[in-house]
Chain A
Amino acid sequence: MTNQSPILAVADLSVDLGGRSILRDVSFDLYPGQLCALIGENGAGKTTLLRTLLGLITQRAGTVRIGAAPAREHRELVGYVPQKINFDPDLPLRTRDLVRLGLDGQRLGLPFFNGRTRHAVDQALQAVGAEEFADQRVGELSGGQQQRAVIAHALVRKPRLLILDEPLANLDFGSANALVDLLGRLIVQQQMTVLVTAHDMNPLIPVMDRLVYLVDGRAATGTVAEVVQAEVLSKLYGYPVSVLHHGGRILVLPDAPENADVANMNRCAGHGV
């Protein structure tokens, strides 16, 4: 742990959506240069938490601080990569154009050629290894390449915190490994801080500094060793679970299948290898 001030500080965050309580008393800090994984199954509240951090949803209680000020005022410090954008194959937009929109997409007037803009776009393309498809249409790229393009779009303004929503969900093993490597590289080379959601923690374990484990809107936070313990997770799930380690991989399973109902079993299976 560093003795710097946290880049992201979430304290006692509670969020309701449509009268339903989605997040309850979630707290965690994220320090510069760390990679934090937000682990939970579908419906656990991961996307809601991200959207609250981005200021797209207003919380019922608690605070989110990015840098030193409330999240809403510090969008400039955050780059966001949404879960999946469906780019039409015919969309007349090159990777390079998409990246440039991350830099000046909000500006008025026509996008004339500009050396500094071009340089910033090239740097972002290079940071994610997207040079070779920079001049191809975004819609023609593979899923992994599109993801790199969107990451470059988020990086081009040089944010301090990069937030990715389920970046591994639509990727094959090879692309997923390449993406994990890329995230590790961004932290080292660009001094980036990364917050990434996933339903399976295993691919991220090699690069993960901290973990926020979400179950039904409640969170356990800390390092992998601190959080992924039978005792901590049993308390979080509300029923006994076991944590199995196998070849560097972690499997969380409910303890007594004959007592647990089918829905609970399915839930835990989602965290499997």
Chain B
Amino acid sequence: MFAFLSSQPVQTALIVGSCAALVSALIGVFTVLRGNAFAGHALADVSSAGGAASFLWGISPLLGFLGMAWIAAFGMEFLGVRKARERDLATGIVLGAGLGLSALFLYLDVTTTSTTGAAVSVMFGSLFAISQGLIWPAILAVLAVFLLVGLFYRPLILTAVDPDLATLRGVSPRWMGLLQLLVLGLAVAVCALAIGAVLATALLIGPAGAAIRLSRRPAQAIFWAMIIALTAVWLGIWMAYESYYWFSGNAWPVSFFVVVLIFLFYLLAMFGSSWSQKYQCRGIASLRRLQEP
């Protein structure tokens, strides 16, 4: 255990991984509440184009992921997100275009550097190979997300509940939608850096989806999403580190363990919530209820 924690790559992985877990849990809850899971997935996938471009041009991968996620966010907003069907359509079209760009940049990465490493780490992440210089930018991104969501917490929830009710309280659903996509972009960039652009969805949707089943209040859902995401990331990092010994020198990737753990937690939450519904008690929720003022 001591050797595990004293390893430099492990420390970096733990810090960046925790950042990814915290932002994705926070934003994930709003994303799932608004029924925006597909948009979240698309932003993450499209951000892979930015990650691939950053390898090509030698800029920070965090900036690459973020830049592309934001371009995609504006693209979706611009193409129109008023009705659910239009929103899916706009998202799908931006997703297609973005993945095309990603294909181009990854191809250029491979031909100019003659390795496939870039493709794997952009798409599926390599948490143990993150440079220490990315720790502070990742932390800053997390702080920015927490600040923005903290500031617009109630308008965001009201918009997620019903856009018409929000309009009547003087909250513009359109601005809130854009804000959410921008913050989602920040979260996606940190997640993509940690576990890869393609797998970022798992961290974004899984813990939030599980937590929502266990909670009766938004704040409670965010709390449980964070617990689940952090547990999955920490356990995943530890298992990946140990897997070096399990498979005689062939360690399996962290992203795999994190994603599998999230899936397991989701199943647990699903069965847990249907079990507690069946027996007319709300499991964790009813325990929390006792503690309320």
Chain A residues within 8 Å of B, Cβ to Cβ: 54, 56, 75, 78, 80, 82, 85, 87-88, 90-94, 97-98, 101-102, 104-111, 113, 135-137, 153
Contact = CB atoms under 8 A, between A and B. Distances in A.
Contacts of A106: 154-155, 158, 169-171
B165 A82 contact: yes
B293 A82 contact: no
A54 B168 CA distance: 8
Interface extent on B, as a size class?
20 to 34
A2 to B, nearest CB: 27
Main secondary structure of the interface of A (DSSP, over half): loop
Interface stretch (B64-72, B101-109, B217-225): B217-225
Nearest to A51: B164
Contacts of B166: 105
B168 A75 contact: yes
A153 B162 CA distance: 12
B289 A135 contact: yes
Contacts of B153: 109-111
Nearest to B156: A105
Given A97-B218, A111-B154, A135-B289, A90 B213 contact: yes
Contacts of A110: 150, 153
A92 B161 contact: no
Main secondary structure of the interface of B (DSSP, over half): helix
Contact of A94 (B162, B168, B212, B217): B217
Given A106-B170, A109-B151, A136-B216, 14 more contacts: A54-B168, A91-B212, A92-B212, A92-B216, A92-B217, A92-B218, A101-B158, A101-B161, A106-B155, A108-B151, A108-B152, A108-B154, A108-B155, A109-B154
A121 to B, nearest CB: 13
B165 A91 contact: no
A98 B171 contact: no
Contacts of A94: 216-217
Contact of A109 (B150, B168, B170, B220): B150
Given A91-B33, A93-B217, A56 B167 contact: yes
B216 A82 contact: no
A93 B215 CA distance: 8
Contacts of B134: none
A80 B220 contact: no
A132 to B, nearest CB: 15
A105 B215 CA distance: 20
B165 to A, nearest CB: 7
A136 to B, nearest CB: 8
